[in-house]
Amino acid sequence: MLEKDLGARRFHHSLGAGELAVVLASANGTDADRAYTAALLHDCAKALSADEIMALAQSGQYPVDAGDFEFPGILHAPVGAMLARSRHGIGDDEILEAIACHPTGRAGAPRLLWIVMAADYCEPTRDFPGSDDIRRLVLKDLRKGLLMVLKSKIQHLTGLGKPAHPRVCSMIAELERTPERVGTDERRT
């Protein structure tokens, strides 16, 4: 179903994200099945048209912050959470939130969201200058790697003359301020 919805390229990106998420979950004391599900489905709405995404984001079926409408490129994420629930039967709120927030993160995010963000950014089919370095760092130290991911996102947007989303900036500030206390709220077994 996902392959049909997304097409080959995006489907392989999703599979790659799922694979890396499993590795990161295992290395960071997080449930690998939930990480795989969230990463596999994170872009499940990405192939919809911009108009379809906007209409679904405005439908109220999944909460979208009012300010997010100023960043239309991220609206596939809350719409993805909506489809993950309605089309793929996902009822786990933390998985849905990881899908909904994967482009920006947020301060106070659970480790599941860290993993989905990192897996999305540097899964094995990603091949951009510096992708190997980020992937290595994410695998070695998830917090430091995620900081590099977030800063790279800002750098990319700055290069395009676009503003960074406030949630990206607040997540960077939190990760830099209290590294030992954040990202530890994941349920452990």
- Among 74, 67, 62, 70, smallest CA distance to 102 is for 74
Residue type, 100: A
Binding to Fe ion (CB under 5 A) within 98-127 occurs at: 120
> What is the rounded distance in angstroms from the CA atom of residue 97 to the CA atom of residue 88?
15
Here the tokens at position 87 are 């089309």
Nearer to Fe ion, 160 or 189 (CB): 160
Number of residues that bind Fe ion (CB under 5 A): 2
Among 5, 28, 30, 43, interactor with Fe ion by CB under 5 A? 43
For residue 70, CA distances in Å to 25, 58, 106, 152 come to 32, 13, 17, 21
Q: How far is CA 187 from the centre of its chain?
A: 19
Q: Is 174 in the site for Fe ion (CB under 5 A)?
A: no
Nearer to Fe ion, 70 or 185 (CB): 70
Least distance in Å: CB of 114 to Fe ion?
15
Nearer to Fe ion, 31 or 120 (CB): 120
Question: Which one of the spans 21-29, 39-47, 61-69, 84-92 is the region binding Fe ion (CB under 5 A)?
Answer: 39-47
Question: Which one of the spans 35-43, 59-67, 109-117, 140-148 is the region binding Fe ion (CB under 5 A)?
Answer: 35-43
Least distance in Å: CB of 116 to Fe ion?
9
Here the tokens at position 143 are 């917090």
Residue type, 82: M
Contact 116, 44 (CB under 8 A): no
Residues within the interface to Fe ion (CB under 5 A): 43, 120
